[in-house]
Structure 1
Amino acid sequence: MSESVWRERFGAALEGAMARAEDAQRRRRLIACGFTANLDRVVAFDQDVADRLFVGRAVDVAGPRVTRAGDVDALLTGIAQCVACGEGCDFPVADPAVQDWLLGHVAGRVQIGGTGAQAAATLAALGFPALLHLTSRSPELIAALPGQERITIGSPDGLLPIAQGRDAAATMWHVVLEFAAGLRVPGPAAPAAPAANRVIVSYDPVNSAFVIDPGFDAALNDPGLDIRTLLISGFSQASARQTLERVLWDTAVALRIWRAVRPDLLVHLELGAMPDATAMLRILEVLHPLVGSIGLNIDELRQVLRALGMEMAPAGPKLAAQFRALAERFPAPRWSLHTRELCLTVTDGDAEAERDALLFGSLTAAARARLGDFPVVADLDAALAAGVPNAAGMALLCTLAIAGDGYGGDGLVATPGLCIDGTRASVGLGDSFTAGVLAGL
């Protein structure tokens, strides 16, 4: 399949999604997005910043893996270990003083954080009305949300504009350390990062023990509101196992009630990286019978497979087989994997609609990477003009025996990513991808 044909398909997917946005505005149809929200301080974690942060401290990247920090030395060791393996890590800290130390040593840009919040911001910027679940309504957090004219929150008395949701709640900050391939943290025999990625550090007592907002619950229980799609995410914040169990069962009960009100509700579960990968298996175990769609990225797939005693295969037919086996272990109508090179889905649904949704999601993520902010429609046009379908992704489609239309056998759908030179952001691209896909389904 030629690059020009895939470019045409990206364009057709964009055109179709924009028609859906106009229809959603006309019908006041909402995409509901939950559950966690915070503010990110996004740091360009380059060699200079790393050298300053680690000065005078020795870390051992070869020692036991640190997954939660109670002091600065443990924090730096955990960061160094994530960089050394080139994997994305969510890294909780147990002491607010440790987070304050890090905040005092790094500077960066501020953006809204949390998969649900970033998805809602993406949707709103592209013209899709969104219902947002908030765990905090601090003025700082509300101010960071773009597209507020299309974002609403629930209340016992009905929907409210997001701007009316401000209260005196504290702002939860997460520090996002974006690093490039080749970064080497100071320390004995510390290897260079084999791939670009990010480490998210947080002391967050709010999102780590979130409860479902009564207003959001009221909106999902109101049959008079047109809500056909629900994103659930943020479970990776609940790092304490007992808390995770409570959150999962609260969610399971809520999903049963919401689906009784809305039998056709598409519930999409987006996984997130966790310090303990067995917790990710627990999320899948409890929630997979209650959702219609499950999504994850390549780092999260690696974690889940390791928790099952498998090492992830290189991109190609063996990886596709591992992914399909995971989907069979935790069956849901749709499983989707997103990587830089390509997107891969196993679905019971319409293959053509799935292909176009994946393409629109990839285009949305590429536009955000190029812009460094949440894109509007014109930014997607510009990204498509500047980008090229990922050559490695197109080659992988051939190895997967994907036909020219993007469909394989047994419900397999795959599409190439979109390559953009001179990108300005890498954090949150998966969240914007997810938003684009849900808008297209």
Structure 2
Amino acid sequence: MTANADWADLYRDLIADIPRIAGAAPLMLFGLSACVDARILAHELKPLFRHGAPAEAQAFGKLIKERAGAGIGGEVRIDWPEGPGWLAGHVPIAYALGGTGPQAAWSLAAIGAPALIALEDRSAHKLGQVHPDILIAENGKAIRAAEVIARGPRQPEIFIIEYTAGQAIDDVTPKRSSRIIVRFHDPGLEHDAQFEALSVTLADKAGAGLISGFNSIPYELIDSEVAPVTRMLAKWRKAGVAPIHLELAGYDTPRQRDRVIDQLTGFITSIGMSHSEFQPLMPDSSDLARDMCALGDRLGLERVCVHADHWAAAATRGDAETERQALMMGCLLAGTRASVGIPAYPKGIDARATFATPPLPAVTRHGDWSVVACASPYLEHPGGTVGLGDSFTGGCLLMLGSAHSRISARIPHGEHVKAG
């Protein structure tokens, strides 16, 4: 099933079912990163390339051109303390909500599904970017962001450089549209004690849990930062939350990435990443299906998900049809975001969307694993590239968590899976 019309019809059927899906959706628990994104269009970075620009600015411009020319997005840490101020004074900047959990929650809020996020920084600058229907823990209750009273100082932003296929950046013209996440500081996790306490209280009613943001922790702090997270996850698992998903993201070094995974092994049940993040994690990869299953076996997981521009795939020990619906909902919400530029309610499939043949069959069996793949509605010239993977993750967890909640509702009390 690879023709545009076939995939488009399947996605239209899914769109028609969104009111039912969102209306019956259980609460999602989404942490542990949140920030304000300072978004810059790469073709507007002309001041970086002008004669007399600071050496740091020129080096930054060179890095952006090299990555965009090679079609690389990802995340980088830049040692240029004056960078944020210099950029703010020389190029146009737009601000928006950032962080995997909040952006995934934003896509669910856009269709009317509930998600509680971790939010330590509750400044007016941060809250002003949060969708009003996203839930935040406040005084022991989950309340709408619109009802939270702003407080505290403004925190530094994370910079997002978006580049578009065919749109020149100085003397380089990218062939692919993507974004580069740039950190001029290490924000760490959101230490939201109210989220931690309330998420544990509500865990028996939650459909799925999402954690992310560990790539912004310096190596020497990983163990101390992860320890309270694993204590919280153990309580989530004891209450029956499934899946508990780690969205991996890009790390400064393999050592940092591997330490995070090692510390979280045994507490998460699912892991997801872009194809460009999967490749260095499995450097000898030659068979995507086999290697996803091997990674799942190595980490003791129930699910491994890999997403790319044109397709998404997952190895699961669960139901293959549920996973197919999860991948498609993820691709639908991401595709809608690419079309509109921000998370939005899907009203149809963009007429410009194309559907490529996935690198794997729709469903195959590999021992006790099912490997599932689908095509995504791809736009060569999207309205935005920020947060597409986050919207994808939110859509997947919506479907997986909803399916798990329906099953759990039929299990007598006390038979939930216990923490490992």
- If the length of structure 2 is used for normalisation, what is the TM-score? 0.85
CA RMSD, Structure 1 to Structure 2 (Å): 2.7
Q: 1:381 aligns with which of 332, 344, 347?
A: 347
Q: Deviations over 1:182-232 (max 9, x none)?
A: 67766xxx9765643222222345x22x35311111112215862221111
Q: 1:299 aligns with which of 276, 301, 307?
A: 276
Q: For residues 191 and 329 of structure 1, do their structure 2 counterparts lie closer, same or farther at Cα, with a shift above 3 Å needed?
A: farther
Q: 1:30 aligns with which of 27, 30, 40?
A: 27
Q: In the TM superposition, what is the alpha-carbon distance from 1:96 to its structure 2 partner?
A: 3.3
Q: For residues 230 and 56 of structure 1, do their structure 2 counterparts lie closer, same or farther at Cα, with a shift above 3 Å needed?
A: same
Amino acid across the alignment from 2:49: F
Aligned equivalent of 2:20: 19
Aligned equivalent of 1:124: 109
Q: Deviations over 1:16-35 (max 9, x none)?
A: 443121123xxxx3111111
With 125-134 and 107-116 compared, the bigger mean Cα shift is at: 107-116
- If the length of structure 1 is used for normalisation, what is the TM-score? 0.81
User: Which sections of structure 2, spanning at least 5 residues, go unmatched?
Assistant: 401-420
8 Å CA contact 1:10–1:356 kept in 2: the answer is no
Aligned equivalent of 2:341: 372
Amino acid across the alignment from 1:153: I
Q: 1:344 aligns with which of 286, 310, 313?
A: 313
Q: In the TM superposition, what is the alpha-carbon distance from 1:251 to its structure 2 partner?
A: 1.5
**What is the distance in 2 between the residues matched to 1:85 and 1:369?**
21
Amino acid across the alignment from 2:35: N
Aligned equivalent of 1:237: 216
Q: For residues 74 and 212 of structure 1, do their structure 2 counterparts lie closer, same or farther at Cα, with a shift above 3 Å needed?
A: same
8 Å CA contact 1:344–1:413 kept in 2: the answer is yes
8 Å CA contact 1:7–1:389 kept in 2: the answer is no
**What is the distance in 2 between the residues matched to 1:97 and 1:433?**
34
**What is the distance in 2 between the residues matched to 1:365 and 1:7?**
15
Q: For residues 87 and 58 of structure 1, do their structure 2 counterparts lie closer, same or farther at Cα, with a shift above 3 Å needed?
A: farther
8 Å CA contact 2:164–2:177 kept in 1: the answer is yes
**What is the distance in 2 between the residues matched to 1:122 and 1:85?**
29
Q: In the TM superposition, what is the alpha-carbon distance from 1:432 to its structure 2 partner?
A: 0.8
Aligned equivalent of 2:51: 56
Q: For residues 200 and 413 of structure 1, do their structure 2 counterparts lie closer, same or farther at Cα, with a shift above 3 Å needed?
A: same
Q: 1:40 aligns with which of 20, 37, 40?
A: 37
Amino acid across the alignment from 2:160: V
With 93-102 and 191-200 compared, the bigger mean Cα shift is at: 191-200
8 Å CA contact 1:82–1:89 kept in 2: the answer is no
**What is the distance in 2 between the residues matched to 1:244 and 1:71?**
29
**What is the distance in 1 between the residues matched to 2:304 and 2:289?**
12
8 Å CA contact 1:36–1:135 kept in 2: the answer is no
8 Å CA contact 1:136–1:171 kept in 2: the answer is yes
- 1:436 lines up with 2:420 in the alignment: no
Aligned equivalent of 2:247: 270
Amino acid across the alignment from 2:363: Y
Aligned equivalent of 2:10: 9
Q: 1:427 aligns with which of 367, 372, 386?
A: 386
**What is the distance in 2 between the residues matched to 1:73 and 1:246?**
37
8 Å CA contact 1:292–1:334 kept in 2: the answer is yes
Q: In the TM superposition, what is the alpha-carbon distance from 1:335 to its structure 2 partner?
A: 0.5
Q: Deviations over 1:147-171 (max 9, x none)?
A: x1x3221245322332315212323
Alignment partner of 1:154: what SS? strand
- 1:333 lines up with 2:302 in the alignment: yes
Amino acid across the alignment from 1:252: T
Q: For residues 278 and 348 of structure 1, do their structure 2 counterparts lie closer, same or farther at Cα, with a shift above 3 Å needed?
A: same
- 1:287 lines up with 2:288 in the alignment: no
8 Å CA contact 1:86–1:181 kept in 2: the answer is no
Output aligned runs, 1:24-423, within 5 Å: 24=25, 29-46=26-43, 49-56=44-51, 71-72=56-57, 75-146=60-131, 148=132, 150-163=133-146, 164-181=148-165, 193=174, 195-205=176-186, 207-208=187-188, 210-223=189-202, 226-238=205-217, 240-260=218-238, 262-306=239-283, 310=284, 318-376=287-345, 380-382=346-348, 384=349, 386=351, 388=353, 390-393=355-358, 396=359, 400=360, 402=361, 406-410=362-366, 411-420=370-379, 422-423=381-382
Alignment partner of 1:170: what SS? coil
Alignment partner of 2:38: what SS? strand
Alignment partner of 1:159: what SS? strand
Q: For residues 264 and 168 of structure 1, do their structure 2 counterparts lie closer, same or farther at Cα, with a shift above 3 Å needed?
A: closer
Aligned equivalent of 1:66: none
Alignment partner of 1:391: what SS? coil
Q: Deviations over 1:63-121 (max 9, x none)?
A: xxxxxxx9545544543443343212322234532221122222133211111111111
Alignment partner of 1:435: what SS? helix
Alignment partner of 1:289: what SS? coil
**What is the distance in 1 between the residues matched to 2:203 and 2:103?**
26
Identity of aligned residues (%): 27
With 362-371 and 77-86 compared, the bigger mean Cα shift is at: 77-86
**What is the distance in 2 between the residues matched to 1:292 and 1:436?**
17
Q: For residues 422 and 166 of structure 1, do their structure 2 counterparts lie closer, same or farther at Cα, with a shift above 3 Å needed?
A: same
Q: In the TM superposition, what is the alpha-carbon distance from 1:319 to its structure 2 partner?
A: 3.4
Q: In the TM superposition, what is the alpha-carbon distance from 1:128 to its structure 2 partner?
A: 0.4
Aligned equivalent of 2:412: none
